[in-house]
Amino acid sequence: MLPTTNSNGALASRDAARHTAGAKRYKYLRRLLHFRQMDFEFALWQMLYLFTSPQRVYRNFQYRKQTKDQWARDDPAFLVLLSIWLCVSTIGFGLVLEMGVVETLKLLLWVVFVDCIGVGLLISTIMWVVTNRYLLKQPSRNFDVEWGYAFDVHLNAFYPLLVILHFLQLFFINHLVMISSDWFLGYFVGNTLWLIAIGYYLYITFLGYNALPFLKNTVVLLYPFALLGLLYILSISLGWNFTRGLCSFYKYRVM
């Protein structure tokens, strides 16, 4: 019996090591260098359903937990496609704002490394700390929110926001002369796009944490909708133009 016990103990140790945060992170980063191992078709499916039925995306996260014992993605295909979307849409912004090649490159670096990665890491870390400290039903090492999952929730919520504000909005900035004007219709269309984009972000974030069975009171993540609605009404009443502000900010960055 002693050899069997030692063997089982060794297997258990290796299995535990395989599921540590460091091991998961190493596996994820290693797959970034192997495009053939990425499932881009599945990542595209997730991007589609984040607009039409985001609950289905998070049901897949639950399935991953059952089969691979982790909530976070182990395939970086979604991150790669999101990065491509971000680069293409940022170049589109540079063209619409009539920036030069150097200015567009600067804007691209700002958007990718600061707006997407930097802000994403900050938001994910804050949500990771808040959910583990205040929203756990029973604080335990066996039940906690993975940082990687918090980052995935941010990426899921960021994608619709990116498509709406960095792609769809491009067609209104100059060609229809709405968002860049002082007309009511201009800032109404622009601010409504912001309302929809940020609303998507908040809702998909809520769905992500609500899918975790060991969290409680996740409805509090919907409370910012009240502030969002108030800010939207104020912006329309006072004639604030969020898109004009974004364009001015982008131009200021690359000066």
Average pLDDT over residues 46-66: 91
Confidence band, pLDDT 50/70/90 cuts, at residue 237: very high
Tens of pLDDT along 156-188?
999 999 999 999 888 887 755 455 567 787 888
Above 50 in pLDDT, residue 194?
yes
| Domain ranges, ordered by start, for the chain | 36-64+75-254
pLDDT above 70 covers a percentage of the chain that reads 83
pLDDT in tens, 137-151: 887 667 889 999 999
Residue 115 amino acid letter: D
Residue 72: band (very low, low, confident or very high) from pLDDT cuts 50, 70, 90: confident
Q: How far apart are CA 22 and CA 90, in angstroms?
A: 33
User: pLDDT tens digits, residue range 86-100?
Assistant: 999 999 988 888 899
The span from the CA of 84 to the CA of 75, in Å, is: 16
pLDDT for residue 38: 87
> pTM (2 decimals)?
0.86
Instruction: Compute the distance between CA of residue 244 and CA of residue 117 in angstroms, rounded to an integer.
Output: 24
Decide: helix, strand or coil at residue 73. Answer: coil
The residue-averaged pLDDT of 187-201 equals: 93
12 has pLDDT over 60: no
